[in-house]
Structures are given as C-alpha cells and as structure tokens.
C-alpha cells in the first residue's frame, strides 16, 4: 500500500492510498478517513460506495462525511467504482466500463479479467483496510445511486460481514431498469436468472435483512424512472422489513442531496455499530 496523500480533517486524518489488486489485476486507489478516536484504539468502519462516473474522490470531497464521522467515532472507506488503467476494458458510454463497475464480478469478455468489484470490496479491500488501519470488526455500508445498489446487495448477501446498511437514492430494481439491464447483460450475460443476486428488490424478497434499513430518496430526482424507488419501497412494505424509506421533497440526485442527509446516515450507523 502506498500513500498518495494524508490531510488533517476534523481532528482525524483523510488519506488516499493505492495498492496492487490481485482481484482486479491492476492498481486500485481508495480513500480512508480515520476519526480522532482511532488514536485511542480501533473504531468501527462505514463503507461508502459511490455512483456512476465517480472515483474515490467525489464523495470524499463532496459528501461531507468526515465531520459526522469524527463526531461519532467512525472510520469511512471510499473505494473506487471500477478498475482502471492501461489494459482495463472500457466503453465510450458513461454507464458501462470504467467508472461503472456496478459492484459485480463480470463473467463475460472483455470485462471478466478486471471487473471483479464485488469480490474486491467484500474481501480484498476489506483485508487491506483491517490490516493497515486502526479499525475493528464492526462494519456498516452505505452508498449513493449505483453505490446504493452495491451497499444493499452486498449487505443482504453477506449479513455476517455487515452490521448496518443504508442507501442514498439507490438503483433499487436494476433488473427492470436501463441502469442495470444494460450493464448486467454486458458483465454477466443474457441469463437473467443470474441477475437476481444483484437486485436489491429481489434480494429483499428472497433474503431480507437481519436488522433495519434506512433509505433516503430525493423527490425531485431526475432519475426516478431509472432508480425505481417505488419497487424497493413496495417490497419493504410487502415483506414487512424493518426500516425507514424517506422521500425527501424537492431534492435531486446530486451531492447536495447526499450532503444534506449525510449526518443522519452516519449517526444511524453509529447507533448500530456501537
């Protein structure tokens, strides 16, 4: 692991790091915020997964999580959204290829050699973070848009590895949306039965979640038809899943929306991780 930068932030340290990933077969960049409480001992971890076109940097600089994390004593991990670099497959479209890994393990060419973001987040980067930073075994996960999809699906499929889950405007039903069908066809193939493991609404029906779930959605989000929050909310109700779905009037899909409710989510995770 190499240090790219480390800066003091709200009494803690915001760092950016690179490492050679065996899972993705390329160099990967990620960021970690360590709160001041980490100087006294290991702290719980909140994973933040970003959306389409983002890198580790977008949420690190725009979501405003550091102040809240410092207040509650949580580390925050900001992974990248896809593998990158020379030799890594890409596409001219913004919603497939680099910046659009969708947190799946690709099984089709040309994506298969590098696009293994599911395993990367769940196993390899988790091992790096726990080995290199003062964090303990309590892990929560959240994310925005494509990252909200990733947070919900990783948590529901791996309840032994995550203790809390929330999402900001997640892609809630990707098997029925152009934000999902296009990417799953490219990465996973045309067998739609294999897509179910990456659809939060379908996973909620099949597996549910061991605790409660927090979801915030902007009521003026310009991508509502692609996100399909109605399907996710209806399944929460139908399954009688413990949780809170909040439609926030007037808010769009931007980081202004995420920043506005970041404090609520960090506090919510802290209550479940401590």
Q: Which residue numbers are catalytic?
A: 145, 221, 253
Strand extents, DSSP E, 120-192: 135-143, 164-168
> Residue 121 gets which letter from DSSP?
I
The strand pairing partners of 135, in sequence order, are 43
- Distance CA(6)–CA(41), nearest Å, equals 19
- Distance CA(168)–CA(180), nearest Å, equals 17
Q: Which residue has the tokens 């959204």?
A: 81
Lay out the sheet containing 135-143: strands in order across. Answer: 2-9, 12-21, 26-34, 75-79, 43-49, 135-143, 164-168, 213-218, 243-248
Closest among 38, 32, 35 to 10, alpha carbons compared: 35
């Amino acid at each position: 692991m190499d240090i790219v930068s480390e800066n003091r932030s709200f009494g803690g340290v915001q760092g950016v790091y690179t490492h050679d990933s065996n899972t993705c077969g390329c160099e990967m960049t990620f960021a970690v915020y360590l709160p001041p409480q980490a100087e006294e001992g290991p702290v719980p971890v909140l994973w933040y997964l970003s959306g389409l076109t983002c890198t580790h940097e977008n949420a690190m600089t725009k979501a405003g999580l550091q102040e809240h994390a410092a207040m509650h004593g949580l580390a925050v991990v900001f992974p990248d959204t896809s593998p990158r670099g020379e030799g890594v497959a890409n596409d001219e479209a913004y919603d497939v290829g680099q910046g659009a890994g969708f947190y799946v393990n690709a099984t089709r060419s040309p994506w298969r050699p590098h696009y293994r973001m599911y395993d990367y987040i769940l196993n390899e980067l988790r091992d790096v973070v726990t080995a290199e930073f003062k964090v303990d075994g309590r892990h929560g996960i959240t994310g925005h848009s494509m990252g909200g999809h990733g947070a919900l699906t990783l948590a529901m499929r791996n309840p032994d590895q995550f203790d809390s889950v929330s999402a900001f405007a997640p892609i809630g039903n990707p098997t029925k949306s152009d934000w999902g069908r296009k990417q799953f066809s490219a990465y996973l193939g045309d067998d739609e039965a294999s897509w179910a493991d990456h659809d939060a609404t379908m996973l909620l029906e099949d597996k549910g979640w061991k605790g409660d779930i927090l979801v915030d959605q902007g009521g003026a989000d310009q991508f509502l038809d692609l996100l399909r929050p109605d399907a996710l909310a209806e399944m929460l109700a139908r399954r009688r899943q413990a949780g809170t779905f909040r439609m926030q009037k007037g808010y769009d899909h931007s980081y202004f929306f995420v920043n506005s409710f970041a404090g609520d989510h960090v506090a919510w995770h802290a209550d479940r991780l401590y």
